[in-house]
Amino acid sequence: MAAPSWPPYFEASQNLLVTNRILLGGFANYYQSLTHQNLSLEEAKERAKNTEVKGKLPQADQVLNYLAWSNSVEVLKKVGRKTKYHLKKLKIEKVEDLLFHFPHRYLDLRRVVKINEVKVGGEVTVVGEVKEVTRRLTKKRFKLIQVAIFDGTGYLKGVWFNQDYIATIFKEGMRVAFGGRVTFRYGQLQIENPLFDILGEEKEGFHTGRLLPIYPATSSLSPHRLRKLLSEARPFMKVPEIFPAWLRQRFGFVSRTQAFLGIHFPQSVEEVAEAKRRLLFEELFLIQLGLAMRKKRMEIKEKGYAHQVKGQLLNDFIQGLPFELTTDQKRALEEIKRDMSAKKPMNRLVQGEVGSGKTVLAAAAMVIAAQAGFQAAMMAPTEILAVQHLRRISQFLKHLPLKVALLIGSTSAKEREKLLPAIASGEINVVVGTHALIQEKVKFKRMSLVVIDEQHRFGVWQRFRLKEKGTFPDMLVMTATPIPRTLSLTLYGDLDISIIRELPQGRKIAENVKTVLCQTQKRRNWAYEKVREEVEKGHQAYIICPLIEESDKLEAKAVLEEAERLKNQVFLDLRVGILFGKMKPQEKDEVMMSFAQGELDVLISTTVIEVGIDVPNATVMLIENADRFGLTQLHQLRGRIGRGGYPSYCILFGKPKTEEGKKRLKAMEKITDGFRLAEEDLMIRGEGEIFGARQAGFPDLKIARLTRDVEVLVEARKVAFELIEKDLELTQPVNALLKWEVKRRFSDKLDWLFRA
């Protein structure tokens, strides 16, 4: 293995040095002096060795390897433009990406069984030559692919269903390995969906006699090729330990180098397990360190106001409510009070389904701010929601001597002229609004509370801009999106969380709603009949058509066509309104308002209808192509109905093409609890899907599975927060590499983490 040439290292170390000179315990400084001398890699290593302070600093070559992680894969032998291009499809661009491309399984080639010794029912690995590849349709119209291999003692077939590409992988004469459980069908030995590998014409030994890692691959980069690339990258696995000694001792972790070698080149199953245990912990630990640092930093730097929470105003507020708070609400309120009375700023997320009573809590927090002589601001993602919040909050506060105002994009210039000075003078106690709130011109006198609704709809900077209008105000974030605990610990790991699970009595929304899956034309007619029936009872209906094409034009067209059809052919005699994304905000608001006021019977819409919108009179929802939605989204849509306590119907149209899709719709029929659905969603789809594209900013997990690794996550979180408590900025030399690694892996994901 020829060592890579100097320039890439040079670049990396430059980078590292510029970013943080004292990192690596001053080691980097030394390298800087080397880079100035334009030495070859060998020379640099040699010099470094001579000046190394034994025991204190990592080995020079290890550091150089580590620095090289950020170089392009091109530094590896046998990686040219073409391979680089193929690797990019697997999101492998840098050396580190390759090292973190972990096998998803292993084929045990240490005990290859001869085909004539295979026992039916047993788990085996067999190796042989491909003799025949056949594809045919079964009676049930499955595509059946069979690959027969021969090993000198007998024949065995690998069998796949509906996986056409398999047939293109195998060619007669190839040497391959199959692994899996053996069955005996139609007079022949076979393995259904075997683990497989193409052994190629390699000399014996490279593949046989070991645990063969199988990598997630593409059609142009086989697991076989990936294994070769990883052998090329093997030297780069020799890197410094980033964990402090006590941490490794406490959990008995193998070293970082051992972990990478163990997962890519294992000698035994145990070695794989130990490698995974270390890498899994490491991944979650690093994220939690980042979150802990961010949280701690905020707590220390931001000197918040310690509100006096006992007061007449708050008492009056609670007394004046037309209902008693639920147990969950009471608990959340206690938590809010505790946070607001503390010197450090509150960072609390209140999670609860639509209608669970979060707005009352926001109002209570506002009252706490007001009774201390401060102002409060609440930001919602859309005008409709802002208006709705304003109405509710004014209602809650109406018997208190507080002034509430609305500031949204469509607030007229004339009104603004009056409003802005009143906010600046402190005359107005509570301002509810949209992004309009963060405009430069909006100034508060003394603002100590920021409430953010549906925070995932805002960018981080928007939250910060609003917070900057006060002096380290307390922040209360509300979300109706149920997030499983594992996700909230990673996603919002620096926020404290209050969860409202029970809904106010008499408003068991989910239980009012019956969910039915419809797949035939007959059922469609039944559904339309249902709509008509409900409208005749004086209720209202939603019909949701998802965005079919990417383009807005097509979306609009699809909805419009469907709307026209329904309007003119199906619901001729009903009042039908249409809502879609391309409409002007004002038009949207108008349609929404007239639906809310009962001037429309049926609202046909894309998914733009708002999560928080409340029309208690709506009792039916038809969702077209329901299989295109995620569970969480379906559940939120469904949350629009049944709010008035009437029996309601959520009718899902759609023929899922995948198993996954079927499971999802089944889950919708069965499960009514949002949190349970969210967990189910996570199980069915895997967190990558949910948070990969949609939730930008979610750290890219290489080995952890949040559905599976809850315990490790909780442990890693505990240790990380303990460590940050002792070394806030990870400035102690023993922690320098940890810090570097957090930064290297997650700084772009944990926004603002390393802004300072």
**Rounded-to-integer distance, Cα 356 and Cα 379, Å:** 19
Is the Cβ of residue 340 or residue 677 nearer to Mg ion in the bound state?
340
Q: Beta strands 347-352 and 496-500: pairing type?
A: parallel
**Rounded-to-integer distance, Cα 742 and Cα 756, Å:** 15
Kindly identify the residues of this chain, within the stretch 432-491, that bind Mg ion according to CB under 5 A. 474
**Rounded-to-integer distance, Cα 599 and Cα 225, Å:** 65
Is the Cβ of residue 368 or residue 641 nearer to Mg ion in the bound state?
368
* Residue closest to Mg ion (Cβ): 304
Q: Beta strands 404-407 and 430-433: pairing type?
A: parallel
Is the Cβ of residue 309 or residue 483 nearer to Mg ion in the bound state?
309
Report the nearest approach of Mg ion to the CB of residue 298 (Å): 12
Is the Cβ of residue 474 or residue 555 nearer to Mg ion in the bound state?
474
**Rounded-to-integer distance, Cα 304 and Cα 300, Å:** 10
**Rounded-to-integer distance, Cα 590 and Cα 687, Å:** 38
Backbone phi, psi, residue 35, to 5°: -65, -30
Report the nearest approach of ligand ADP to the CB of residue 643 (Å): 8
Of the candidates 387, 393, 344, 343, the one whose C-alpha atom is nearest the C-alpha of residue 365 is 393
Is the Cβ of residue 304 or residue 357 nearer to Mg ion in the bound state?
304
**Rounded-to-integer distance, Cα 258 and Cα 210, Å:** 17
Binder of Mg ion out of 4, 194, 262, 304 (CB under 5 A): 304
Overall residue count recorded for the chain in this entry = 756
**Rounded-to-integer distance, Cα 754 and Cα 21, Å:** 15
Report the nearest approach of Mg ion to the CB of residue 448 (Å): 7
Report the nearest approach of ligand ADP to the CB of residue 392 (Å): 6
**304 interacts with, out of ligand ADP, Mg ion, none, CB within 5 to 8 A per kind:** Mg ion
Residue 223 binds Mg ion, judged by CB under 5 A: no
Is the Cβ of residue 325 or residue 422 nearer to ligand ADP in the bound state?
325
Is the Cβ of residue 365 or residue 385 nearer to Mg ion in the bound state?
365
Helix (H, G, I), strand (E, B) or coil at 555: helix
Helix (H, G, I), strand (E, B) or coil at 346: coil
In the complex, which residues of this chain contact ligand ADP (CB under 6 A)?
A: 323, 325-326, 329, 352, 354-360, 392, 504
Is the Cβ of residue 474 or residue 687 nearer to Mg ion in the bound state?
474
**576 interacts with, out of ligand ADP, Mg ion, none, CB within 5 to 8 A per kind:** none
**352 interacts with, out of Mg ion, ligand ADP, none, CB within 5 to 8 A per kind:** ligand ADP
Check: CB of residue 542 under 8 Å from CB of residue 621: yes
Judged by CB under 5 A, the stretch of 143-151, 277-285, 302-310, 492-500 that binds Mg ion is 302-310
Report the nearest approach of ligand ADP to the CB of residue 81 (Å): 54
CB-CB neighbours of 380 under 10 Å: 27
**HEC per residue, 164-226:** CHHHHHCCCCCEEEEEEEEEEECCEEEEECCEEEECCCCCCCCCCCCEEEECCCCCCCCHHHH
Q: Supply 536's token pair.
A: 């005749």
**Rounded-to-integer distance, Cα 691 and Cα 329, Å:** 29
Judged by CB under 5 A, the stretch of 33-41, 340-348, 394-402, 680-688 that binds Mg ion is 340-348
Report the nearest approach of Mg ion to the CB of residue 344 (Å): 7
Report the nearest approach of ligand ADP to the CB of residue 614 (Å): 7
Report the nearest approach of ligand ADP to the CB of residue 673 (Å): 15
Is the Cβ of residue 471 or residue 594 nearer to Mg ion in the bound state?
471
**392 interacts with, out of ligand ADP, Mg ion, none, CB within 5 to 8 A per kind:** ligand ADP
**Count of residues interacting with Mg ion (CB under 5 A):** 3
Report the nearest approach of ligand ADP to the CB of residue 330 (Å): 9
Helix (H, G, I), strand (E, B) or coil at 312: helix
Amino acid at 183: T
**504 interacts with, out of ligand ADP, Mg ion, none, CB within 5 to 8 A per kind:** ligand ADP
Chain contacts with Mg ion (rule: CB under 5 A): 304, 340, 474
